[in-house]
């Protein structure tokens, strides 16, 4: 009796203990980093973000395709974003959630139009973390990506030269 | 043992605190910046520190002559800072605020290069150069129009012949004309006089 009663109860309590703090933090727009920023925007402007499905897989594929040039891709999209946005408040919120180490690189804000752009950077050794919040009309996108400039540039140049070869081949055949 | 532990803590703090307390390299008075941003209808701020410039330089194509020139220029720089404020109506910034911005570059190493005033519309352009051992190590441009205020600050060794290469970057179009204005000059009512003669 005791065993049948206490084990399920202990499991239920454990589940509650594990999930409640997560919900409390989420409801308060708490936490930091990408999720912290997205949750804060959701709770402040009462909008729901669409997270791109299989983004983790896409990030791994992007990393493999660029030989590690691009990684840690996170994307959230707010469609039909109708809430009025105060640029100063949005900037403060994003800065607060990103925390120390992130420096704002670009800020474009218009008081009348629904256009806000914030780009933050964060040096990560050889890599550079970039965090972008872009509101254009009724669409707000939040993107985080980690870039290894050397590896990405190698990949870009590889494709550039490949395209160049194709173009020169094309010219050769047309002449 | 306690003393040793305290010494380690103090030593670590001595290393960390100055790093945290380092002032922002962008030397504009923060209250003025905030006031201008609060009044402006559109604000553009670009802050590219040395780390970001080095990062950007890696994407320049070494086979492209123009990109190589830009790469050489930005690799040596310490920072590029742009502030552009567009206002709905005239009179949204004061002469006092402009003076405060100019005074931020009142140190002896900053030499006024261009100083143009137009009394009619109240427009003005200031270009100041930071000289270190006779070499340019920084440039400050303050362009005030009736409804727009643009501030450009570039820190680090600058090759004037390559400066115009940067004009394609966001907010740096004002730099295209600076190369033609290398020699110090002080003009007042220049535009107004030109209009009067026409």
What is the rounded distance in angstroms from the CA atom of residue A78 to the CA atom of residue A40?
13
Alpha-carbon distances of B123 from A32, B44, B55, B104, B150, rounded to whole Å = 45, 20, 37, 20, 12
Query: Which of these, A40, A34, A39, lies nearest to A56 by C-alpha position?
Result: A34
Interface contacts (A, B; CB < 8 Å): 49
Q: Is the pLDDT of residue A174 over 50?
A: no
Position B30 scores a pLDDT of 76
Position B83 scores a pLDDT of 94
pLDDT tens by residue, A93-102: 999 999 989 9
Q: Nearest C-alpha of chain B: how many angstroms from A49?
A: 26
- Segment A80-109 shows an average pLDDT of 92
pLDDT tens by residue, B104-114: 887 888 999 88
pLDDT tens by residue, B151-172: 999 999 987 776 766 665 555 5
Cα-to-chain-centroid distance, residue A42: 14
Interface of B with A in 37-66 (CB under 8 A): 37-38, 40-49, 51-52, 55, 58-59, 61
pLDDT tens by residue, A148-173: 988 887 887 777 666 666 655 555 44
User: Which of A88-102, B101-115, B137-151 is least confident?
Assistant: B101-115
Q: How many Cα atoms are found within 13 Å in the side-chain-facing hemisphere of B41?
A: 10
Strands (E), chain B: 42-49, 79-86, 110-118, 123-132, 135-145, 148-155, 185-188
Query: Which of these, A141, A147, A143, lies nearest to A123 by C-alpha position?
Result: A147
pTM: 0.73
pLDDT tens by residue, A54-76: 788 888 888 888 888 889 899 99
Q: Nearest C-alpha of chain A: how many angstroms from B197?
A: 40
- Which residues partner with A118 through β-bridges? A107, A133
Record: contact A112-B41, CB cut-off 8 A: yes
- Residue by residue, DSSP assigns A113-154 as SSEEEEEEEEEETTEEEEEEEEEETTEEEEEEEEEEHHHHHH
For residue B144, the tally of other CB atoms under 10 A from its CB is: 22
Strand B123-132 and strand B135-145: pairing? antiparallel
Q: How confident is the model at residue A116 (pLDDT cuts 50, 70, 90)?
A: very high
Q: Is the pLDDT of residue A82 over 90?
A: no
What is the rounded distance in angstroms from the CA atom of residue A74 to the CA atom of residue A52?
8
Q: Is the pLDDT of residue A4 over 50?
A: yes
Position B16 scores a pLDDT of 39
H/E element, B92: none
ipTM score: 0.70
What is the rounded distance in angstroms from the CA atom of residue A42 to the CA atom of residue A169?
52
Structure tokens at A154: 């190698």
More confident residue, B117 or A171: B117
What is the rounded distance in angstroms from the CA atom of residue A128 to the CA atom of residue B56?
10
**Could you tell me how many residues make up chain A?**
175
Kindly state the DSSP code that residue A93 receives in the 8-state scheme. H
**Mean pLDDT score of chain B, rounded to an integer?**
76
Position B193 scores a pLDDT of 44
Smallest Cβ distance to B52: which of A105, A110, A160?
A105
3-state DSSP percent of chain A in helix, strand and coil, to 5: 50, 30, 20
């Amino acid at each position: 009796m005791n065993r049948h009663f206490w084990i399920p109860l202990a499991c239920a309590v454990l589940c509650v203990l594990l999930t409640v703090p997560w919900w409390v933090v989420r409801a308060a727009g708490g936490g930091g980093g990408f999720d912290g920023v997205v949750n804060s925007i959701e709770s402040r402007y009462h909008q729901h973000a669409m997270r791109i499905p299989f983004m983790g897989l896409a990030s791994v594929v992007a990393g493999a395709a660029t030989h590690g040039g691009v990684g840690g891709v996170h994307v959230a999209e707010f469609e039909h974003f109708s809430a009025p946005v105060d640029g100063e408040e949005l900037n403060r919120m994003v800065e607060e959630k990103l925390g120390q180490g992130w420096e704002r690189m670009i800020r474009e804000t218009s008081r009348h139009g629904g256009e806000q752009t914030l780009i933050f950077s964060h040096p990560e050794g050889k890599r550079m973390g970039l965090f972008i919040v872009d509101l254009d009309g009724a669409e707000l996108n939040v993107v985080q990506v980690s870039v290894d400039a050397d590896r990405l540039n190698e990949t870009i140049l590889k494709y550039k030269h490949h395209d160049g070869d194709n173009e020169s081949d094309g010219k050769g055949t047309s002449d | 043992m306690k003393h040793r532990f305290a010494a380690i803590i103090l030593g670590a703090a001595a290393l960390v605190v100055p790093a945290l307390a380092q002032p922002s390299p962008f030397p504009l008075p923060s209250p003025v910046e905030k006031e201008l941003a609060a009044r402006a209808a559109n604000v553009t701020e670009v802050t590219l520190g040395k780390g970001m410039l080095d990062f950007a330089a890696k994407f320049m194509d070494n086979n492209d002559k123009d990109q190589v020139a830009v790469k050489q220029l930005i690799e040596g720089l310490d920072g590029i800072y742009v502030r552009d404020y567009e206002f709905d109506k005239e009179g949204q910034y004061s002469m006092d605020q402009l003076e405060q911005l100019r005074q931020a570059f009142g140190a002896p190493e900053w030499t006024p290069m261009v100083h143009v005033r137009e009394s009619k519309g109240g427009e003005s352009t200031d270009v100041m150069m930071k000289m270190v051992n006779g070499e340019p190590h920084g440039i400050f441009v303050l362009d005030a129009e009736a409804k727009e205020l643009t501030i450009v600050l570039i820190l680090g060794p600058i090759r004037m012949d390559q400066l115009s290469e940067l004009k394609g970057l966001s907010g740096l179009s004002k730099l295209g004309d600076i190369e033609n204005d290398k020699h110090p000059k002080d003009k007042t009512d220049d535009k107004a006089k030109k209009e009067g003669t026409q």
